[in-house]
Amino acid sequence: MNTTISVTNPQFQRLAQVVLSMPMAQTLGLALTRIEAGAVEVEIPVLEAFCFRPGQLQATPVFAVADFAAVAAAGTLLAPGWVNATVDATLKLLAPAQGERLRARGRVIDAGKLLTVCAADVYAVNQNGQETLCATLLGTARNIDMNPRQ
């Protein structure tokens, strides 16, 4: 599995630190593989502990990796001092989530002041690196000013 990328942009460094410090990200073995304005790519290994049958993930980790990718992509467009959180998401499963790892590519659909609509496509990646689209997510992130003016 790819290791987490080196991030030089200070805004993206903070986002990467926040995402990777989350207990669920750590439990999933989440790695950031790409981060740029409006787009994030993350990966998780397919672990037997998350499978309902050998080598095939349950929907929960598929949802989680999609949510991390989509909402992190939304976070790349936030001003300093702002954070975001998922308020709504819909996942559509398209194919079995089986392979060596899952790769989710998140993107921003529409960035607003208080809400950002975001999406992610999740790919099952086999040992040869071949991708199969297995899920897609459409979500909404709430943008939160952590330094409100008094």
User: pLDDT tens for residues 57-110?
Assistant: 999 999 999 999 999 999 999 998 899 999 999 999 999 999 999 999 999 999
- Answer whether 104's CB lies under 8 Å from 122's CB: yes
Query: Is 84 inside any structural domain?
Result: yes
How many domains does the chain contain in total? 1
Which residues span the domain enclosing 77?
A: 10-145
**What CATH number does residue 41 fall under?**
3.10.129.10
Query: Is 137 inside any structural domain?
Result: yes
Query: Is 63 inside any structural domain?
Result: yes
Query: Is 17 inside any structural domain?
Result: yes
Confidence of residue 9 (pLDDT cuts 50, 70, 90): confident
| Residue 38 Ramachandran class (φ > 0 left, ψ -120 to 50 alpha, else beta) | left
Query: Is 3 inside any structural domain?
Result: no
Query: Is 43 inside any structural domain?
Result: yes
Three-state DSSP class for residue 28: helix
Whole-model pTM over 0.85: yes
Mean pLDDT for the chain overall: 93
The tokens for 119 are: 């999406």
